Amino acid sequence: MDLGGQIRKRRQALGLSQDELAARVYATRQSVSNWENGRTCPDIQSLLLLAEVFSASLDDLVKGDIAEMKKQIDEQEKTAFRRDSNIYTALFIAMIVTCVPLALLWRWWGLAAWSVLAAVAFAWSLRVERWKKKFDIQTYKEIVAFTEGQTLTEIEKAREAGKRPYQKALLAAGSGLLGLVLSLAILWLWKRYIL
């Protein structure tokens, strides 16, 4: 339950009007109305007085809000992770697809433009890696579960943690191979069409 709902529920349980509660916490009736309707939140002094009037702890009074805020923050972080992952994927695909055409079209300027694109993609990859480290997700299964709002069981987590070293090695080898193929393709096209 939200804080405004907690205030309203507890005020009504005590049989107090908004005016009577306002007098007890040294606020105006309008302030109490704004708190209850979620337009504003009470300051810390008012929260302490409200907790005293309701014979409740601050934790009990705002617990619903803390859970709601945590849920909103988690959802915002998941949304940001998804957005950054999608941007990185698009940049990575663009980097692979545009390398040769840019070199053939604009020669050195094309390679310079491609280098800028590669630098931006690298920066986004670092951003995605920070998210992955923050949420302790590395394997594909962990990432999918996280973006769907699910969690893995302890056994699944242990299995996925065991896969991480192998997946990192395969990812490094695959990236190196892709880089080698791209470099050879550029070199071949460069010699054939540009020089």
How far, rounded to the nearest angstrom, does the alpha carbon of residue 195 sit from its chain's CA centroid? 47
Average pLDDT over residues 51-65: 78
What is the domain partition of the chain in residue ranges? 3-56, 75-194
Closest to 35 measured CA to CA, from 50, 57, 52, 53? 50
**159-183 pLDDT, tens digit each:** 777 777 777 778 778 878 887 887 7
C-alpha to C-alpha distance for 142 and 136, rounded to whole angstroms: 9
**HSE of 59 in the Cβ direction (CA atoms, 13 Å)?**
0
For residue 1, is pLDDT > 60? no
**CATH match of 3-56 with 1.10.260.40:** yes
Indicate the pLDDT class of residue 131, thresholds 50, 70 and 90. confident
